[in-house]
Homo-oligomer: A and B are copies of this chain.
Amino acid sequence: MSVRFGLLGAGRIGKVHARAVGGNPDAELVAVADAVPKAAKDIATAYGAEVRTIDDIAKAKDIEAVVICTPTDTHADLIEKFARAGKAIFCEKPIDLRVARVRECLDVVAKTRATLMVGFNRRFDPHFMAVKDAVASGSIGKVEQVQITSRDPGPPPYDYIDRSGGIFRDMTIQDLDMARFLLGAEPVSVTAHGSVLVDREIGRHGDFDTATVVLTTKSGQQAVITNSRRATYGYDQRIEVAGSKGMVAAENQRPVSIEIATAKGFTRPPLHDFFMTRYVAAYANEIAAFISALKTNTPAKPDGADGLAALLLAEAALRSVAEKRTVQVKEVAG
């Protein structure tokens, strides 16, 4: 039996998930809801689904699971609503920008025993999965140092920045989750640096555009995250894990892998232009993992606890920058 889905939010990321659901042989997109009727209609038409209201989807007997792609400030409310409605929930990160609200929300999830999976899609990228598999297989021994380089092609609009919670909660959070995923142990300290180098206006909006974060675990493992809101050469997404027996790395991906040699040198085309093209397979695999968890009645990962953990690291990073010191995660975890 296919898993029947409702899609909440028909914006950019909603389309990505609609494609993932629509292209999955074990899933069916039944309904789409969005504040903008045309956006909902377009996706619904493309995948043979209906336009419904969020309330109708919550009540619908022909829908078992929802994908939440609405604006961040609605995530926690919707998770609670659909948890209470008995639906399985896949929610885009973050659950909320406030730790306390995330905790409340996860309490509801716990009480209702709802399935909640959080959208850290990069865990499902085939290349990063292969890195994780190499680590898990013991090929590189015990993990000692993780290096994550993550640069967006260009900064988002200022109004997005205003609502985003800042670079650590919005962008770095993906890398913080990846660091947790690869370290295989929980970070206990966070040291962060934030600069405004790309666009001074971003600083005026109270955010950074360039960041470096160092995480350490109890045993002394180190993870370094290097972020920028700009990379002229495309969407820079690399990870590297060094261990006692070796190292494993995933290089950048590009849409075409040709090389042109002339008197000026050997040139390969730029990287993917952004996450929509870079992480096509990751988004499909992510939804497939969610569906598989539902069908096999096994826990869906990453879950709410992972969402909270990454947010706490982002909080600690913010405090570290403000206080120019290493912050223990337990300080922000309360």
Contact = CB atoms under 8 A, between A and B. Distances in A.
Given A224-B226, A246-B232, A270 B264 contact: yes
Interface string A257-274: 111111111111110000
Contacts of A236: 247
A279 to B, nearest CB: 14
Nearest to A131: B258
Contacts of A266: 233, 267-270
Interface residues of A, number: 69
Given A197-B219, A226-B145, A257-B251, A262 B242 contact: no
Contacts of A74: none
Nearest to A23: B23
Nearest to A236: B247
A270 B248 CA distance: 13
Contacts of A216: 193, 195
Q: How many copies does the complex hold?
A: 4
Contact of A232 (B23, B147, B233, B263): B263
Contacts of A156: none
A2 interface: no
Contacts of A324: 189, 325-326
A246 B233 contact: yes
Contacts of A230: 244
A37 interface: no
Contacts of A265: 233, 267-270
A246 B228 contact: no
A46 interface: yes
A262 B244 contact: no
B139 A260 contact: yes
Given A149-B147, A221-B197, A226-B147, A259 B251 contact: yes
Interface in A114-169: 126-127, 129-131, 134, 139-140, 142, 144-145, 147, 149, 151
25 contacts: A130-B269, A131-B258, A134-B258, A134-B260, A144-B195, A147-B147, A151-B242, A189-B324, A193-B216, A195-B216, A197-B244, A210-B220, A212-B214, A214-B214, A224-B224, A228-B242, A230-B244, A231-B247, A246-B262, A246-B263, A247-B261, A248-B258, A248-B259, A249-B258, A266-B267
For the complex of A and B, list the 8 residue pairs with the smallest distance between their C-beta atoms, beginning with the closest: A195-B220, A246-B262, A233-B261, A325-B325, A130-B256, A324-B326, A232-B263, A247-B261
Interface of A: 23, 25, 46, 126-127, 129-131, 134, 139-140, 142, 144-145, 147, 149, 151, 189, 191, 193, 195-198, 210, 212, 214, 216, 219-222, 224, 226, 228, 230-233, 236, 242, 244-251, 253, 255-270, 324-326
